[in-house]
Amino acid sequence: MDILRSRISAVLMLCVAATMCAVQLGCGSEQPTTDSAPSSMPVNSKTSAPALDGNVFEDALESLATGGASARQRGSVLTSPRQRFPGDGSSPRPAVVRATFELMPGEELWVIAKGIDPAVPTNEEMPPGCGALMAKSPDEEKEVPVPLKHTAVVGNIDGYIATVDVTQQFQNPYNSKIEAVYVFPLPDNAAVSEFVMTVGERKIRGIIREREEAEKIYNDARAQGHVASLLTQERPNIFTQKVANIEPGKQIDINIRYFSTLQYDDGAYEFVFPMVVGPRYNPPVTTDGIGAVGRGNQGASGQSTEVQYLTPGERSGHDVSLSLNISAGVNIESVRSINHDVAVKDVTGTERSVTLSASDSIPNKDFVLRYRVAGDKIKTAMMTHKDDHGQYFTMMLYPPAELKKVRRSPMEMVFVLDCSGSMNGRPIDQARAAIAHAVQSLTPRDTFQIINFSSTASQLGEAPVIATPQNIQKGLTYLNSLNGQGGTEMIQGLKAALDFPHDEGRFRLVSFMTDGYIGNDHDILNALSDKLGDSRIFSFGVGQSPNRFLMDRMALIGRGAVAYLSLNDDPVEIMNRFNERISHPAMTDLSINWGNMNVTDVYPQILPDLIVGRPVVVTGRFTGEPSSVKVGGRQGMQPASFTVAVDPADATKEHKGIASVWARLKIMDLMTQFSRTPDQAEELRQTVTQTALEYSLMSTFTAFVAVDSMSKTEGEFGTTVAVPVNVPEGVKYETTVEN
């Protein structure tokens, strides 16, 4: 019996050993097998049984791991769970797990290992060469070599239009060539219009092409060994950068330029640069979502786009630098960075220079900069731009000050709290605190409901309850019982929030508190459009790196407003601003008299309500001379209007970004139609493609490609290596990432 047990033990250990051996082979073998079929190495005890001393396979397996062939037969199995050997043998060896077993004379055991040819591309589990792994003590973070060394961000803000240059420095830390793949975020309103690849001292401007065409050019160049790069858009705020044929030790830089408009919120402009894609939840059956997998688990999510995450004990050398030049046009009163340490330099009264601190350079949270301008001096003004395509304008509509004097009607407040696994911990604490404050601010004229969703949805009661002190207490108790776990079936939360009869005597306002970590954004937005009715949506993006595309679009479709609740924000302050907004009626039924301007293609096509503290940016094309326009609407039951004049400095300043911003808005509008009207999909696709190509913009259907035909590397394109990223600060790896 003991012999049998020891034999079973030996077989089990060998299976482990063989698996680990395969890992080691893939990293360090100098004599690879010729194909991926299993290779085997017999250890025949017939001939060596007398020599058995309980450590038969140590050297055999070690030899396999390093590509050697000799095998002294002793009885110990080397395993190295998920660690990789340096290819050149110069780096420290990883820790080993030793297992002992016995073989009886005459028995034969086979160590079966799947051979891996380093010349054939494999998945990220086997980074080529693996020469840069640095083992640390268990308490220290382990530095993982990644093919992205640094991201440099330089932004220039003029008024409320930002021009941002992002330089990604890819490098190959391994000992054979690679293709680097990096899934990264940009602002959802970023109009990406330039793409330059730098190879050594040479700069090559990328060409915008239809996506399939660009992918084909890139794949051909990659297969032929040329250095090439491809930028594709997976979501309006998620992009994939591929760089092919980076040779060991070499660096390839990618420069991306985009324009975007800034949010203006209660007297402050907000510049946001997202640094990491949060781990998305994809409903079962989805395949075109955004997968979240652990480092090296390529393909584990089954999604068309996948982000690999570092485990909590790992860190990468990838860091970020950021500098920002602000020219506000009016005096800047204060500058505040929400999530990062920054240095702020006063240039003039209206200009600031902001630099991210080098000690806060880990790209695991959004960079959010709010700068308050002299509030009373802010004037609604129109800026214009003229080029070969025609004339464009943009203007920010501010709600008239009189709105603050009018009180709101009774409300039916519905709070929807995301209780999925990604909200576990600090995010849900923040959201609960915010909702608690909002609930306590209600009056007995109002009713409220609290809904939570994760894999399913549940709620405080069957129907909204009057905001009496007792019911508020009951609501707070319920709120405190909620925790984050499970999936993010947001559709369940939407249904629960909108699928019940409307109280005609109250204004229904639905407040979503979520990080928005879902991969089916458009499904949610379509469902929201279908179910909205007379409700208004106020979306709150919670955490350090929320899905801002989803949050922004929910508020836009829901004719409400968006706000962000960082882990560093004071939830009371954020909700007080929210209370201030909803304490006054909005200016509704907006219409614009364009005066002498002949205006077309205005975005947003349906003008939202003007809410206190929350202006609306309107962009369009025109012919004729720029002139003042008159905005009309209703305040409560009374007609109201105000005039927007042309910016006095308009004629002397250049606003090149306006055309790109306009085209980006048009594309976003068309994409919304695309997801809602499948019967017009082909026509819309063509219009999006044509617009994107004409304005040289990224879109779902266009991509930038750049090929260096001068640099031809040896052999095939090497191993594809994803750039693993940190989960956003405050998000738990264990509850969000598939392993």
* Positions that interact with another protein (CB under 8 A): 196-197, 202-208, 213, 217, 220-221, 224, 226, 228, 388-389, 693-696, 705-710, 712
* The pair of three-digit structure tokens given for residue 680, joined into one six-digit string: 């017009």
Looking at beta carbons only, is 29 or 660 nearer to another protein?
Answer: 660
Looking at beta carbons only, is 220 or 346 nearer to another protein?
Answer: 220
Looking at beta carbons only, is 223 or 347 nearer to another protein?
Answer: 223
Looking at beta carbons only, is 575 or 692 nearer to another protein?
Answer: 692
Who contacts 307 (Cβ-Cβ below 8 Å, separation ≥6)?
A: 183, 277, 279, 280, 290, 291, 292, 293, 725
Minimal distance in Å, beta carbon 226 to another protein?
Answer: 6
Q: How far apart are CA 606 and CA 673, in angstroms?
A: 13
Looking at beta carbons only, is 202 or 336 nearer to another protein?
Answer: 202
Looking at beta carbons only, is 550 or 705 nearer to another protein?
Answer: 705
Looking at beta carbons only, is 216 or 345 nearer to another protein?
Answer: 216
Instruction: Report the 10 Å Cβ neighbour count for 42.
Output: 12
3-state secondary structure 186-228: CCCCCEEEEEEEEECCEEEECEEEEHHHHHHHHHHHHHCCEEE
Q: How far apart are CA 466 and CA 397, in angstroms?
A: 35
Minimal distance in Å, beta carbon 179 to another protein?
Answer: 16
C-alpha distances out from residue 549 to 116, 168, 242, 540, Å: 41, 22, 23, 12
Helix (H, G, I), strand (E, B) or coil at 66: helix
Minimal distance in Å, beta carbon 655 to another protein?
Answer: 18
Bond preceding residue 279 cis, omega within 30 of 0: no
End-to-end CA distance of the chain: 37
* The pair of three-digit structure tokens given for residue 275, joined into one six-digit string: 């640094």
Minimal distance in Å, beta carbon 388 to another protein?
Answer: 7
Q: How far apart are CA 692 and CA 670, in angstroms?
A: 11
Looking at beta carbons only, is 230 or 467 nearer to another protein?
Answer: 230
Minimal distance in Å, beta carbon 686 to another protein?
Answer: 16
Instruction: Kindly provide the b/e burial profile for residues 414-440, where b requires at least 16 CB atoms within 10 angstroms of the residue's own CB.
Output: bbbbbbbbbbbbbbbbbbbbbbbbbbe
Minimal distance in Å, beta carbon 167 to another protein?
Answer: 14
Looking at beta carbons only, is 694 or 734 nearer to another protein?
Answer: 694
Q: How far apart are CA 250 and CA 252, in angstroms?
A: 7
C-alpha distances out from residue 16 to 13, 99, 159, 327, Å: 5, 10, 62, 61
Minimal distance in Å, beta carbon 257 to another protein?
Answer: 12
Minimal distance in Å, beta carbon 245 to another protein?
Answer: 12
Q: How far apart are CA 145 and CA 148, in angstroms?
A: 9
C-alpha distances out from residue 282 to 91, 418, 515, 516, 672, Å: 40, 15, 14, 11, 20
Looking at beta carbons only, is 502 or 712 nearer to another protein?
Answer: 712
Q: Give the distance, in angstroms, between the CA of residue 656 and the centroid of all CA atoms in the same chain.
A: 27
Minimal distance in Å, beta carbon 390 to another protein?
Answer: 12
Apex 413 CA angle, 482 and 591, nearest 5: 135
Minimal distance in Å, beta carbon 161 to another protein?
Answer: 20
Minimal distance in Å, beta carbon 667 to another protein?
Answer: 14
Minimal distance in Å, beta carbon 673 to another protein?
Answer: 24
Place of tokens 């080529």: 128
Minimal distance in Å, beta carbon 721 to another protein?
Answer: 23
Minimal distance in Å, beta carbon 706 to another protein?
Answer: 5
Looking at beta carbons only, is 527 or 693 nearer to another protein?
Answer: 693
Q: How far apart are CA 461 and CA 325, in angstroms?
A: 51
Beta bridge partners of 355: 323, 343
CB 222 within 8 A of CB 228: yes
Minimal distance in Å, beta carbon 204 to another protein?
Answer: 4
C-alpha distances out from residue 124 to 293, 304, 346, Å: 12, 16, 46
Looking at beta carbons only, is 167 or 440 nearer to another protein?
Answer: 167
Place of tokens 């629960």: 496
Strand ranges in 442-533 using DSSP code E only, listed in sequence order = 447-453, 457-459, 465-466, 507-514
CB 415 within 8 A of CB 435: yes
Q: Give the distance, in angstroms, between the CA of residue 113 and the centroid of all CA atoms in the same chain.
A: 38
Strand ranges in 251-389 using DSSP code E only, listed in sequence order = 251-261, 263-265, 268-273, 290-294, 305-309, 314-316, 319-327, 332-337, 342-348, 351-356, 367-373, 381-387
**Count of positions (residues) in the chain:** 739
Looking at beta carbons only, is 205 or 502 nearer to another protein?
Answer: 205
Minimal distance in Å, beta carbon 610 to another protein?
Answer: 35
Q: What is the DSSP letter of 177?
A: -
Looking at beta carbons only, is 150 or 209 nearer to another protein?
Answer: 209
Minimal distance in Å, beta carbon 112 to another protein?
Answer: 40
Looking at beta carbons only, is 205 or 445 nearer to another protein?
Answer: 205
Looking at beta carbons only, is 203 or 404 nearer to another protein?
Answer: 203
Looking at beta carbons only, is 56 or 208 nearer to another protein?
Answer: 208
